[in-house]
Structure formats: structure tokens, C-alpha cells
Structure 1
Amino acid sequence: MKTKAVRMYGKDDLRLEEFELPQIKEDEVLVKVMSDSICMSTYKLVEQGKKHKRAPQNIDTNPVIVGHECSGLIVEVGKKWQDQFKPGQKFSLQPALNYKGKLDSPGYSYEFCGGACTYCIMPHEVMELGCLLDYTGESFFEASLGEPMSCIIGGYHANYHTNKKNYDHAMGTKTDGNILILGGCGPMGLGAVSYGLQFGNKPRRIVVTDISDDRIRRAREVISEESAKERGIELRYVNTAAMADPVGELLSITDGHGYDDVFVYVPNKQVAEMGDRLLAFDGCMNFFAGPTDNQFKAEINLYNCHYTSTHIMGTTGGNTDDLIEANRLSAQGAIESAVMVTHVGGIDSIAEATKNLPSIPGGKKLTYTQFDMPLTAIDDFEELGKTNPLFKKLDQSCKAHRGLWNAEAEKILFKHFGIDPQAL
């Protein structure tokens, strides 16, 4: 079977090519990819090429398919897995395999497995580890966004608080506590807000900071303070760039208590140090943002660490249970992963969008791999719709959903490009 895929040959060398896939083995699964959202981790892979820890050293002759936030349909199942998977099933993928201590991962390491393609082959280790997951939701894009949402969920679950009586750790963010999300009006930050509003350890308050009025404005549009209040949670968006004393003003929101859980969503030294200063007694700071500099450092207050039990940790990625939770909540409509998405495109847009990801404003770049379409901002749909009937329909659909990408808009795209979402 032929596939079309975006493959990496080396640093900054991405190529959209068509080539033949081998016949699957009895312990492999052939899938049709429908959607793949672009992750900053893929940009880091392309920036480093062979130097990346997950990249094979022979990519110049055996290129890898990039992309790992994918979803689609199972097409053919090898004999070993036919009791677990059937053709026509929707799937989502947990790419963090860690198979037998190896760093190989779909979208980084495999010649025939990645998300930026029309068809690919899932290797045996994906099924052995339970990382190929059934998805029952309506849309494909929400299954694609399950992977980044699972990273967010993992962060919430990994935070902890101490218990002096028996030294057991109470896992998760603190119930009835104060949560601070620094740099939280980007795609992952908004995902964290959406999840935090329904997390079992219900917080009293979530404060979200940014330094852009435009990003704060959009955040309020997609997750309003009023909607949080209906759930019994105080939600505040604040621009720290407009504050004379950001630490003092953020503390005042909690009446001086401080924040029980702080998430740092930007890899910035000053922001990380501010988060440390804002911790309450027994506060936990999660450095969530992944820096590209392997010598990235910031100062922490070890006096507070000793006397007030503050602690700092970091999380990267989620596990399979986190992805299962993300898929379940998304299918139930309990979380809105669509708050992350600001751009939509086709398979032909993936290479350039990936290489230029940090310079493209907005949030998540969602792509559909079965057709070509320029990467387009949802905010531009209205103007484009004045002359293009497709974008007029997409604009109307998104406006009917608070400006968010949605299942109806996905179906409009499929119909326009003649794609049967159930055809294998």
C-alpha cells in the first residue's frame, strides 16, 4: 500500500513524499491517519536532527515519519492482535512507549510509524504496551488532542502534598486550594484550565497569567470566568506585565495565603523564580514547560523549602492511564480540548508549519492528513469566507461554537474534500 508522509532526513530537513509501505507482519497493525496536531516536541526534534535522543542515526538514508498526536481508523490487523482490534475502529495513540528501556517513539524513531501521514504501520510494541487505544468520541481531532491533554492530566496527578503525621504523600493538586498557571493562555495552559475546572480534587480558585491582552481576551472567550463560577470555582485571568508588583498582587488574590499548586507553562527563568516565591506552605510547583537549553537553571528559595515544605518537580508527557482519561472526558464533553486549536491545515502544510512553529502565533496547529489545505487561522475564516464558500461554512460553524473548532466543522472539511471518514 502507498502512503504519503512527512519524513525527516536530518536537521530542518522535512519532506512530504509518497512511498510504499511493506506488508504488515502478524504482530503489527495498519492504520489510516485522519488527523494529527503539531507538537512543539516535533519542532525540537527537527531542530536537533540526529542529535535528538529519540532520532536514529541513519535518518539520512532511512527517514522517520514525524508527528505523534494522531488519530484515525484501524485498517488491517495482524493475526496476533485480531482478538483485540478490528478494522474500522477509531484509535488514539500514546507515543511514550519506553519499551524495554529504549527511547524509540512513534513520530520520532520509526520509518513506517508516525502521525503526519495517510497510512502507517503500528509496530508490535505499541500494542504490547497497550498504547493503541480505542476511541469512541465523535470527532477525530479530539482523539488527536488526547495526547497533549494527557500530558496536562499527568501534571495534575503528579503534583503532591505532604502529610507530617505519617509522611504519606497526598497525590494530585490540593482540594479546595489555590492553583496558579503561569503563562497559561497558550494552548496547553488553556487545556490545563479546562481540565482543572472538572478535576476531582476541586480547587477553590484558579489564577491564570499571561503578558498578552490578546491571549487573555481569547482565553476569556473560550473559558469564561462565569462558566467557572457556575462550577463553584473562582477563575481569574491577569496580565502580569501590567502589574507594578506581580508577586504582591498575585499573593493578594489569595489574601496572602499563596498558591498550593503552581504550574509553570513557559520555560522562563524569571517566571519560574516568581512561581517559587508564590508557593504557600507545603506548596508544589510543577515546572511543566520543556526548555531547549539543557543547562536551563533558576534560583529557588531553599529556606522556604526547609521551613515551609515547599517543593518543586517537573513532568513531561502523560502515561496510558492519562490518555484513557483524556479520551473518556473528551468523549463525555467534560473537557474541551478544542480550546487549544487556533489553526487548521492539510498534510501539505505540516512540514513548513513544524519548522516554523515558534514564529506562528496562536495555539495548536491541527492538521488533517487525507487532503491538502493551507494552514489557516480560525480567526481568518470570516475574511476568507467572503470569497470562499468553504471558509464561510467553517466560520459559521466555529462562531456557533464560541469560536472553537468542532466536530461539525471537521465534517464540513471531510465533505468538501470528498473524504468518507469511515472508509478504509
Structure 2
Amino acid sequence: MDPAGELTHFHQGELSTEDYVLEFIRLAPLTRMGEESQMAMFWRGLAEPLRSWMPWWEQDWNFFECYAALALQLCGSALVAGVTRSEITGAMAFVEEDFEAVHRCGVCCRDFSISLPEKIKALSGSCVIIKCRFEIKDEYDKNLTKSARGCWLKNGTSLEKNLVFNSSSPKNNDLKGEITGKLHEKNCTTIFYDVSSNHNGDYFFRIEGSGGLKYTYTGNSSTINVIESPPKPTVKLYEDEEEVLEGSSVSLRCSAESLCSSPPPTLTWSSTPRIPLSESSRQQELISDLNFTATHRHHRVTFTCTITYQLQDKNKTAQDNITLHVQYAPKISPSSSCVSGDVTVCFCEVDGNPSPELRWHMSGRPVTNFSNPFISEERLNSTGLRSSITLHQSLTHTFTLECVGNNTHGNASQLLQMPPPVDRLWEIEDLSTDD
């Protein structure tokens, strides 16, 4: 395959960016292709995500070395590719140069640019932070000193009409705040205080240094949106399960978007009905975990997480909650008992999730529902069941009675104390009277 065909089919693949550039440099001079065609092939052959990061080749790129150097710079390489031209033929020759040669690229490798968030939420009455870094043409590096000043323009880029903040005259600004970043280190991070709906809008940054360094970054802006109430936190079951089993470890996580505030916002837990809570928090990340071992008492308990912003005039809060569902084996109520009259009636209450079945055993054998004894059931709620059994007096002398509840997680049973028959009670009372 001729050099032109080889270059046409050449792609970075798994090659490092350095190896790709050097191999491209080797192949390109062997072809008769024009510089624009070579640039298009160079861009097309780059692997993702580098190809998406690279701008499309334009005439403003005066040298291939600048375009290749940008690719190397984006991938963190210290290698720089240079270009020389034959004075006789005008043909390009490519050479590998030392890192110090990066300045040969001039302004084409470093231009005015800025990095700042596209959209920012701010809570009314609190503060707002614009995280900001900028870049300048390297010819102005000498003009960026500690005396440089930063300006913010709102809803436009006219210095006369849209200026709302100038770091050199804070008392005269429409907006109260300060640039917390060091401008001479190209950090323009800014905080505005006591924000209100008047702060809503698009903000453009301007840098002013000595000499000719005066530039407004018109291509990028931050949009501030002031809200009256804080965003709701999010509460989730850590394992993201719908139900947990009694005895298992439970982790509830509350996370929240942290807006600028002094003091920082806090997260707190509460429950309905109220139970003792022990939480662990990472307030830097605005995350709070609630950890405990699940019991049947946690079933249908609602856990609420509240975020609180302490502002000068009042606190602002927002909440989210989750209701826990716990599965557990049956539990028989200690109130289960028997009462005697003309007949003996015994009651048994059982609770479990899923809702258990309840059976009666007489002397160890299951009892079916017929006229004597007579069994009835009543559903108390989604997990509770109450059953009663009516016994003829003659049966209470010779049988033991047991209620048994069971579901998919286990069973529980309780022997019921049979009361003496009514005539036996009269005998006992007569004996006590005789004494």
C-alpha cells in the first residue's frame, strides 16, 4: 500500500496519543496530500474521547504542530510535534521536539477561555458561589499580576450597562460579595451574599490586568436561579429493597443537594411513631446514614429526613420520608386467654408479616370447625389475626388447648390455661365460706 493509502487507513486504535502523533508525523511527509487533507485524516484517526475534545481543523491553525500539540496537551503528554518547511520545495517535514518548544505554537495553542457552571441554584436569603477558572493568551501572562481585578456583568456584556461587580471597588457594587479565588493564578471563583430574586440572570466574567489585558468572556456564562425553598433531600433504603427481614441490618441513606449557606445546612432524622435513632453523618457531602437492626416494631414506621438552612431571619427546611416494611415470623399476644361461663371461650391473637394463619390444637391434634368446638376468626389489620374457639364444658376437663400461628418465616404457639368449670368454682367458693 502506498504512503497515501496507508495514511488514509491509519487510526489511533490502542496506540497512545504520543505514538499516534509520531507515526502520523512519519507517514505524512511521504504523501503528496495537502495540509487540510492531512489535518482531516489526523482528526478522523483519533480515538474517543480525544476526537470529541479536539476542535475541527480550521484555517486559523497556522501550523500542524499547533494542532498536534493541542492533542498531546489534552491527553497530558509532554511531547510536542514541530514542523519545518523546505525553502526549495515548500514541502513539510515533521520533527519531534522537546517540551520547551511548546511556545512555538504561540497563541494557537492557548487562547482566552473560561470554565464555570452553566446553571447554579441559590437559596433566597443565603449565598451563591460561582466556581470559576479562566485562561488567557500566553502573550498576556506578564500582565496577570496580583493587582488584577475581576468583574461580573449581568444579562449582557456591556461594561457601561451590565457591570454589577468589580473586585477593585466592592463598596460601589450592586451585588455584595468577593472573589475568593486568586486572579493571578487564573482562579475567578466568586461568592455573592444575601441573594434574592434580583440575582436571577446570566453572569459573564471580565478580567482586567496591566497593559492590554482587558477581556470579557462572552462565550460562556453562568445562570443563577434563586429559589425560595430548599430542594427536597432524598431518602432511600440502601439496598434498594422493598421489604426487609426481621433481624437483618438496615441502612437508610439521606442525601441532599448542598446550596451555599453559612452555617452549612444540616440533616436530621425523625420517625413516626417515634423510636430511638442512631445516625452517622458526613455533612461535607450532605449525606446521613441511619443504621439499625430491623425488628417487627419497625414495620410501617415512617422515617423522615429534614434538611435545615439557618438563615438570618428564619430557618428554611425541606423533607423526604420512607415507610419501612419488615417481614417477621408470627408473634402471639400475651393477652390470649380463656373465660368460662356456660361454655368456655378462648381467644388467641397473632401478628406477623406476611399475615399468619392461626390453628387450634387440642391435646396436640388440629381442631376443625364443627359445632363443638366452634371456631371464628377476625382480621385485625394487614398483619394481625384474632381467633376464638368455643368449647362445651365437658371438653375442658380432659384436653389441653394450644393456639399455633405460622407464616413463611416461622411459627409461634402458646398453651392456654383452661379455667375450672363454673360448678367447680362454686365448690371452691363454698369451701372458702366454710372456713
- The two structures have a TM-score, normalised by structure 1, of 0.19
Q: Which one has a larger percent helix, Structure 1 or Structure 2?
A: 1
Normalising by structure 2, we get a TM-score of 0.19
Structure whose alpha-carbon radius of gyration is higher: 2
Q: Counting strand residues as a fraction of each chain, which structure ranks higher?
A: 2
